[in-house]
Amino acid sequence: MNFEAAKKRSLVLREQLDKWNYEYYVNDAPSVSDQEYDRAMQELIAIEQQYSELITIDSPTQRVSGQISEKFNKYVHNTPMLSLANAFNYDDLIHFDEQIKELTGLSEVEYTCELKIDGLSISLVYENHLLIMGATRGDGVIGEDVTVNIKKIKSVPLRIDHPNLTVRGEVYLSLEEFNKINDERIKLGEPEFANPRNAAAGTLRQLDSTIVAKRNLNAFLYYYVNALGDEIQNQYDSLQRLEQLKFKTNPEYRYCSNIAAVWAYIQEYEPKRHQLGYEIDGIVIKVNNLSLYNRIGYTAKNPKWAIAYKFPAEVVVTKLLNIFPSVGRTGRITYNAVLEPVRIAGTIVRAATLHNADFITERDIRIGDDVQVKKAGDIIPEVINYVVERRQQKAKKWQEATHCPECQSLLERVTGEVDQYCINSVCPKKITRGLEHYCSRNAMNIEGVSEKNIERLYKIGYLKSFSDLYQLSQYRAEIIQLENFGEKSFENMITSINNSKQNSLERLLFGLGIRHVGQKTAKLLARQFKTIAELVAMNIEQLSVINDVGPIVAASVVDYFAIVANQQEIALLQQQGINMTYLVTNQTLSQKFENYRFVITGVLSKPREYFKELIESYGGQTSDSVSAKTTYLLAGSDAGSKLVKAQKLNVKIINEEEFNNLLIKEE
């Protein structure tokens, strides 16, 4: 076949394959057999192998090619991907409806209802008709560029009949595919995924995109960014427009003329939730009229024109086969239940949490009991109580553990607290869990050092502390010989470890695992003291007076740095080149907003996260609520109730121009 003939034939094949993909993966109505589809695909692959210049990024063959992404780059969303506020009952919905009416002046509000898919939020960007970016939600402002993996989702079109468009939706895994994946993992001796959402999220973040292709992820699209700019007037019509552009939308969406119709929709779908073939955890309710959105406005985290109704947790009864303790990175003991397998919220559950010893003894839960189990937030299974009328007479009273299940050290209980702790600083499980936390995304963000790898390297003796991570390169020859740990994996891991040396101080403070020091507190301390040396020099009284720290956190920080072993570890990390300084975006910025507290409200020229980051970079603090401690309310248009409260409290109210003047004002 000559080039011109090959070109014509490839175009015909592409058109056929795109049509068949759409029928199969979007409409669930294939018009050809798998064999016919495969024959056409193989023919196109052969043509492109012969004439490589015919390969383009939107070719159907590019979904199945194996590619490995060294590392996910960050992507700044053009408009923030905000989360939704929650409603849990009818009264919450009435309150939401009343707020919308108050803000819009309408006597009746129309809504569009959609099923709340339990998956992973994504944003798709098309330019010149082609998919050029697929990104995760991330923190709402910055996500991960997972374009390579998004292209493996066959329901996501690579080319659309629109020149430039951004759409958003949810990547999910059907229950059928989820069960197939877990069956395969059981055969391979690998741990099962807890639920379809975790499996979908883990799959989309795979570095090897061939794994993504095998797992058959799917995607529902539900948000047409800048729909008004394309003269689409309401949310219902935007979903129909997405369908016209060959995107897969969830077919169960519905127009509702008022909040009463919304409630009827919820009552209809709550009993249907486990008949859908995919997991949902509620209903999303959006004001239908898109032109009202700016008037209704946004909070720092949520749009005010939408809300998520969360279904109540499903409760089932099953038998409690055993109770066993486990130890976490801080030494805290958690008790776990082994259950007779039972289906809850669409997945098979074999284990659940029992929290702590007091939880079990206060409820007198015993091994052998029939117990009530629910998924907290439809995610974490937990035992609620035992079924009194089903208790066996021979059931023995349960006794709490006295020794650590890992190192057999005597457990201790802190005065005034319900939890037991292993206080052995060299407890193997405390060390490995601490290392997992140190390497986690929100701490030092070290990739390639999974739970399994940490445990293997710990047992071998290469990895006993945080500082040991930065010495792993000397064991290259030995590590690459380990099962499933080749040269590429090793090099990627070492690169990520070395990159972590440049992190700002707050990541290190959070990664160290100091008790009571979460992400927010770590950033607060890093911004306040700038270096770890200054922080270590503080006493409890000096730390306690800092806003949002208090005596409990202060005592925990001081106690941590008073331990000689921790001092030695910090010194080793410093010797190995780990940054111990707070890094701001612009090193020349002053701390002119130090001790200032801002609240941001209304519609501004840029997303609220932009102003929040700017304020914090100048040493200021931000809050979601107005109080007597608020220094400034930065108010845009349609400011709403926060403006009223600020006026009552005599809080200084500034607009965007006045805020910019504060930035350039000489100190």
What residue ranges do the domains of the chain occupy? 3-63, 85-310, 315-413, 428-501, 505-576, 597-664
> Are 583 and 617 spatial neighbours (Cβ–Cβ below 8 Å)?
no
Q: Do the domains at 428-501 and 505-576 have one common CATH topology? A: yes
C-alpha gyration radius of the chain: 28
CA distance 159 to 169: 17
Question: Is 652 annotated as contributing to ligand binding?
Answer: no
CATH number of 315-413: 2.40.50.140
Q: What's at 487, amino acid-wise?
A: E
According to the annotation, is 404 in a ligand binding site? yes
- Name the percent of the chain in helix, strand, coil, to the closest 5: 40, 20, 40
What is the mean pLDDT for each group of 10 consecutive residues in the chain (667 residues)?
87 86 63 71 84 81 47 82 86 94 94 94 94 88 88 93 95 92 82 80 81 90 92 95 95 96 95 88 95 86 88 88 93 94 81 92 95 75 92 90 95 84 90 93 86 90 95 93 85 93 94 88 88 94 83 92 93 95 63 85 76 80 87 83 87 87 66
In the prediction, which pLDDT does 586 show? 45
What CATH number has the domain spanning 505-576?
1.10.150.20
388 alpha carbon, distance to own chain's centre: 39
362 is in an annotated binding site: no
Was 31 annotated as part of a binding site?
A: no
**36 marked as binding residue:** yes
Q: What fold does the segment set 428-501 form as a domain? A: DNA polymerase; domain 1 (1.10.150)
Q: What would the two tokens of residue 535 be?
A: 């922080």
- Pairing, β 420-422 against β 621-623: unpaired
Q: Quick one: tokens of 292? A: 């009202």
Helices 3-21 and 34-50 cross at an angle (nearest 10°) of 150
Does residue 286 have a known ligand-binding role?
yes
Fold (topology level) of 597-664: Rossmann fold (3.40.50)
Say if CB 100 and CB 109 are below 8 A apart.
yes
Distance CA 125, CA 244 (A): 17
Q: List the beta bridge partners of residue 335.
A: 325
Q: Is 252 annotated as a binding residue?
A: no
Q: What letter would DSSP give residue 192?
A: P
Per-residue pLDDT, 63: 59
116 annotated active-site: yes
Whether the CB-CB separation of 658 and 335 falls below 8 Å is answered with no
At the topology level, CATH places domain 3-63 in Helix Hairpins (1.10.287)
- Let me know: does 472 contact 457? Beta carbons within 8 Å: yes
For position 400, what pLDDT does the model report?
94
Instruction: Retrieve residue 186's tokens.
Output: 């059981």
Q: Name the E strands within 471-623.
A: 597-601, 621-623
Tell me which of 71, 116, 464, 642 is the catalytic residue: 116
Q: Which amino acid is at 116?
A: K
Contact 178, 192 (CB under 8 A): no
Q: Does domain 85-310 correspond to CATH entry 3.30.470.30?
A: yes
Length of the chain: 667
Cα separation, 379 vs 118, in Å, equals 10
The pair of three-digit structure tokens given for residue 185, joined into one six-digit string = 């993992």
Question: Is the whole model's pTM more than 0.75, yes or no?
Answer: no
Contact 449, 469 (CB under 8 A): yes
pLDDT at res. 141: 80
Confirm whether residue 170 is marked as ligand binding. Answer: yes
Tell me whether residue 110 is annotated as binding: no
Q: What is the dihedral of CA 212, 213, 217, 220, to 10 degrees?
A: 110
| pLDDT of the residue at 499 | 93
| Of residues 316, 411, 301, 443, the one with CA closest to residue 372 | 316
The verdict on whether residue 422 carries a ligand-binding annotation is: yes
> Is 629 assigned to a binding site?
no
Spatial distance between the Cα atoms of 180 and 217, rounded to a whole number of angstroms? 12
Tokens of 392: 């066996």
Please tell me the predicted confidence (pLDDT) of residue 467: 96
Report the candidate in 562, 477, 482, 118 with the shortest Cα–Cα distance to residue 310.
118
Helix ranges (DSSP H) in 443-536: 451-460, 476-479, 487-499, 505-511, 519-529, 532-536
DSSP of 234-252, one letter per residue? BHHHHHHHHHHTT----TT
Phi and psi of 102, rounded to 5°? -65, -40
pLDDT of residue 65: 38
Handedness of CA 328, 334, 339, 345 (dihedral sign): negative
Tokens standing for residue 46: 């052969």
The whole-angstrom separation of Cα 502 and Cα 444 is: 10
Short-list 94, 112, 91, 167, CA closest to 284? 112
pLDDT for position 388? 92
Q: What is the C-alpha separation between 242 and 262, in angstroms, rounded?
A: 22
